[in-house]
Amino acid sequence: MLDFFSLSNLLSPDTYNTILLLGFGYVALIVIGGFLFPAPYGRFASESFGLSLSPKWGWFLMELPATLSFLFFYFQGQNSFELVPMIFLGIWCMHYANRGFIFPLLMRVAKGAKGSFSFMIVSAGWLVTTLHGYLNAVFIAELSDHFTHDWLTDPRFIIGISIYLIGFTLNLHSDNIIRNLRSKEEVARGDKVYRIPQGGLFKYVSSPSYFTELLSFIGFAIATWSLGAVFVLLVSAANLIPRAFQTHKWYQEKFADEYPKKRKVLIPFIL
């Protein structure tokens, strides 16, 4: 067992493929659980799940392994200082700097609000975010054999990076709309105010932050042409798609006839 988790073994193709296969199996469990039980954080938080953290600390701690795991395994790879892997290193660090550090830091949490991020979610998330980092870093810096300079002109790289950047930019915009639903003064007073988000992709869907996060991961998977990136996409979809339906239902129940009838759940004009 100790040999299996040795660094040299974790960098080997056989071990990597075994862990990747187990990861895909775990995705199936998340799909089942996601539709049966809303993840207990944010508006779906529940005291029945035990210790809860503030959203800021919950997001930060849950996402942290994605950065640490990726950086650790990336710099063990023989190709870690090659141009194309370093481009993906930069994209990964940019993405998780936003998701794990900037996003929670900018959250507007009402003064005196109770913790709304279950520690159960944080601890379960550690497994997933650690796998995110491991599966992508090892492939990018060690196992890939197509990341030559020619990859920069490959249609998969160009299309994938374009999709990723569009998704990432729209994700920032959607997060900003949600963040500004409550003013800083309302947050300071501890007011718990709910409003219908307007503008941007909210014109079309209830959860544009989820849609654009998935769009980003689709682009990253195409750009890297990697099953490790597909794992990140699938595990994110398994978590976010059920939550998008739950969020859409929550909005409809909360605001009733005020909520736009034509607004879709997740994908503009489609779903």
Q: Quick check: 199 pLDDT over 60?
A: yes
18 occurs within a structural domain: no
Q: Which domain holds residue 144?
A: 35-258
Give the count of alpha carbons within 13 A of 142, CB side only. 25
> Percent of the chain, pLDDT > 70?
87
Q: Which amino acid is at 260?
A: P
Q: Kindly state the helix (H) or strand (E) to which residue 244 belongs, with its residue range.
A: helix 227-255
**In the structure, what pLDDT confidence band is assigned to residue 3 with cuts at 50, 70 and 90?**
low
pLDDT: is 97 or 112 the higher one?
Answer: 97
Using one digit for the tens of pLDDT, what is the confidence trace for 26-70?
888 877 766 666 555 555 555 555 567 777 888 888 889 999 999
CA angle 207, 105, 183 (to 5 degrees): 65
CA distance 45 to 250: 13
User: Do the domain assignments include residue 24?
Assistant: no
Is residue 46 domain-resident?
A: yes
Answer yes or no: is 8 within a domain. no
Does residue 15 lie in a domain region? no
Upper half-sphere CA count for residue 147 (Cβ side, 13 Å): 23
Q: Which of 83, 132, 116 is nearest to 234 (CA)?
A: 132
Indicate whether 51 belongs to any domain: yes
User: Are the CB atoms for 41 and 116 separated by under 8 Å?
Assistant: yes
pLDDT, residue 55, reads 78
Nearest in space to 42 (alpha carbons), one of 196, 178, 154, 146: 178
Query: Per-residue pLDDT tens for 126-164?
Result: 888 999 999 999 999 999 999 999 999 999 999 999 999
SS3 state of residue 52? strand
In sequence order, the 6+-apart residues with CB closer than 8 A to the CB of 46 are 40, 118
pTM of the model: 0.87
Write down the mean pLDDT value for the chain.
87
The CA radius of gyration of the chain, in Å to the nearest whole number, is: 19
pLDDT at res. 123? 80
Tally the domains of the chain.
1
In this structure, is residue 145 part of a structural domain?
A: yes
User: Is residue 26 one of the residues assigned to a domain?
Assistant: no
Q: Which of 193, 190, 173 is nearest to 182 (CA)?
A: 193
Contact 232, 175 (CB under 8 A): no
Enter the tokens of residue 252: 């409809």
Query: What does the pLDDT read at residue 62?
Result: 87
Considering the chain, what percentage of its residues have pLDDT values greater than 90? 59
